[in-house]
């Protein structure tokens, strides 16, 4: 076992070195662009990337319409192109089909005539037949240990809520396989029954999979701090991947939210975090989590009263390295795909954003409240941005 871990680690190191050497040049150019700190203004949102879940065999990401405006998907302040994208295989069979898509040719995007208008219209849909969704993403940092870059960006405007805004509503998927979520009311409080009892219960239980949200994060750290407390309850080797998948549950009593964390086999820098379910409790934010909430920070004064905001999983590095340069912090890009039900519909995060539902309605305003606290945030954000966001208070803050 230990031997295997060592081998895996060695492989990882080798991969990283490869990455370092091959991307070094691109990264330099990237940094120059990043220094400009181009913030992409969010625009309208009415479309959403849609994972076609009508079949477990589908490994396709559909676009809810042909003219997807990327900002309507991510609705985020984007300071650099995305080098990677992530589409979770809803069948949970294999992430690799999506991982295979990760490294993208982002030249086309980079050469877009208007760097500040980040639209999917300009993005190559390299496979029209399957409606594969390609997002050019930013370059990775390459320094081991200090390269906890979050690729995810929070939506700049909750109004358009990144991953949201579908014309379709989520429906319970009773036909989907895997995952049977406990009733949040039962949650972890439920006394464990005997195995036959559990078995019977599982049999009788209608399986309704919660929508999922997947984050793609560039980090050396597996366990990204998203502000919630998680307890690891399992780990499994993933087929065709040297990296295991870890399973976590929210430790809050009665909250049945789960998350899976795994590292891309193709790019060991990439950590895929998939959330499932909705928190039934307030966001347990602490000072240290200020850094996670980039949405209002980047919100350019846009209203923060709409339905969605969420906590992006962040490497702990960011939560502890308070002097992380702003540029590097926001150079990172986001890839977040809302998961749909197996019937092909997809979630409107505005109303039910898995794992973040509570936050959506609260954090969208509450996050700004935390910005009033200039404590850690001061170390992270430029004063200009802070000043844009410190004017609102929320009920949640008042509670504290």
Partner DNA sequence: CGGATTTGACCTGCGC
Partner DNA sequence: GCGCAGGTCAAATCCG
Exactly one of 110, 122, 208, 238 binds DNA (CB under 7 A); which one?
238
> Interface with DNA includes 9 (CB under 7 A)?
no
CB of 239 to DNA, least distance (A): 4
Rounded-to-integer distance, Cα 209 and Cα 200, Å: 19
CB of 332 to DNA, least distance (A): 24
Exactly one of 28, 107, 144, 232 binds DNA (CB under 7 A); which one?
232
> Interface with DNA includes 251 (CB under 7 A)?
yes
Beta carbons within 10 angstroms of residue 329's beta carbon: 18
Residue whose CB is less far from DNA, 46 or 223: 223
Footprint of DNA on 292-311 (CB under 7 A)? none
> Interface with DNA includes 228 (CB under 7 A)?
no
> Interface with DNA includes 174 (CB under 7 A)?
no
CB of 12 to DNA, least distance (A): 16
> Interface with DNA includes 57 (CB under 7 A)?
yes
Rounded-to-integer distance, Cα 79 and Cα 143, Å: 20
CB of 308 to DNA, least distance (A): 25
Residue whose CB is less far from DNA, 153 or 260: 260
CB of 193 to DNA, least distance (A): 7
> Interface with DNA includes 4 (CB under 7 A)?
no
Among the listed ranges 33-41, 244-252, 316-324, 361-369, the one in contact with DNA (CB under 7 A) is 244-252
Residue whose CB is less far from DNA, 117 or 130: 130
> Interface with DNA includes 231 (CB under 7 A)?
yes
> Interface with DNA includes 281 (CB under 7 A)?
no
Residue whose CB is less far from DNA, 110 or 179: 179
Among the listed ranges 228-236, 288-296, 301-309, 365-373, the one in contact with DNA (CB under 7 A) is 228-236
CB of 97 to DNA, least distance (A): 11
Rounded-to-integer distance, Cα 207 and Cα 185, Å: 16
CB of 133 to DNA, least distance (A): 21
Sheet holding 270-276, edge to edge: 230-237, 244-250, 258-263, 270-276, 212-218, 335-338
Exactly one of 31, 182, 372, 393 binds DNA (CB under 7 A); which one?
182
Residue whose CB is less far from DNA, 176 or 357: 176
> Interface with DNA includes 1 (CB under 7 A)?
yes
Exactly one of 11, 41, 46, 92 binds DNA (CB under 7 A); which one?
92
Half-sphere exposure at residue 323, Cβ-oriented, CA atoms within 13 angstroms? 0
- Torsion angle defined by CA atoms of residues 27, 30, 36 and 37, in that order, rounded to the nearest 10 degrees: -90
- Got the DSSP string for 321-352? -TT--HHHHHH---EEEE-B-TTS-B--HHHH
CB of 341 to DNA, least distance (A): 13
Rounded-to-integer distance, Cα 48 and Cα 350, Å: 12
Sort residue 19 into left (φ over 0), alpha (ψ -120 to 50) or beta.
Answer: alpha
Rounded-to-integer distance, Cα 218 and Cα 225, Å: 13
282 burial class (0-12, 13-18, 19+ CB within 10 angstroms)?
A: middle
Six token digits for residue 218: 């560039």
Alpha helices in the chain (DSSP H): 2-35, 70-73, 96-99, 107-110, 195-204, 316-320, 326-331, 349-352, 357-371, 375-380, 383-389, 395-399
For the chain, the 3-state helix, strand and coil shares in percent, each to the nearest 5, are 30, 15, 55
> Interface with DNA includes 186 (CB under 7 A)?
no
Question: Contact positions toward DNA, by CB under 7 A?
Answer: 1, 56-57, 92-94, 176-182, 192-193, 195, 198-199, 202-203, 207, 223, 229-239, 245-247, 251, 258, 260
């Amino acid at each position: 076992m230990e031997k295997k871990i060592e081998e895996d680690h060695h492989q990882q190191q080798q991969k990283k070195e490869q990455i370092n050497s091959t991307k070094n040049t691109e990264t330099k150019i990237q940094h120059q662009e990043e220094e400009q700190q181009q913030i992409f203004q969010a625009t309208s949102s009415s479309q959403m990337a849609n994972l076609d879940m009508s079949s477990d065999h589908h490994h396709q990401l559909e676009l809810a319409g042909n003219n997807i405006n990327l900002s309507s998907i991510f609705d985020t302040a984007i300071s650099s192109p995305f080098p990677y994208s992530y589409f979770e295989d809803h069948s949970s069979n294999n992430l690799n089909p999506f991982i295979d898509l990760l490294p993208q040719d982002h030249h086309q995007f980079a050469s877009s005539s208007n760097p500040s208008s980040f639209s999917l219209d300009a993005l190559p849909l390299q496979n029209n037949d399957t409606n594969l969704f390609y997002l050019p993403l930013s370059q990775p940092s390459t320094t081991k240990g200090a390269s906890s870059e979050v690729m995810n960006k929070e939506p700049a405007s909750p109004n358009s809520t990144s991953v949201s805004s579908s014309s379709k509503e989520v429906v319970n998927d009773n036909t989907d396989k895997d995952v049977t979520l406990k009733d949040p009311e039962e949650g972890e409080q439920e006394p464990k029954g005997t195995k036959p009892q559990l078995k019977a219960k599982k049999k009788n239980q209608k399986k309704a999979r919660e929508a999922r949200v997947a984050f793609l994060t560039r980090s050396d750290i597996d366990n990204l701090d998203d502000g919630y407390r998680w307890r690891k309850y399992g780990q499994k080797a993933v087929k065709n991947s040297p990296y295991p998948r870890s399973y976590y549950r929210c430790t809050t009593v009665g909250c049945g939210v789960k998350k899976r964390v795994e590292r891309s086999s193709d790019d060991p820098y990439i950590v895929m975090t998939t959330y499932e379910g909705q928190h039934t409790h307030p966001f347990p934010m602490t000072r240290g989590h200020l850094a996670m909430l980039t949405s209002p920070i980047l919100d350019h004064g846009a209203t923060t009263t709409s339905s969605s905001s969420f906590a992006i999983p962040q490497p702990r590095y960011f939560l502890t390295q308070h002097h992380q340069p702003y540029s590097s912090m926001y150079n990172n890009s986001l890839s977040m795909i809302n998961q749909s039900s197996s019937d092909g519909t997809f979630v409107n995060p505005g109303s039910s954003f898995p794992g973040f539902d509570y936050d959506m309605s609260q954090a969208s305003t509450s996050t700004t409240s935390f910005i009033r606290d200039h404590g850690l945030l001061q170390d992270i954000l430029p004063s200009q941005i802070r000043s844009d966001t410190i004017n609102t208070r929320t009920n949640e803050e008042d509670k504290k």
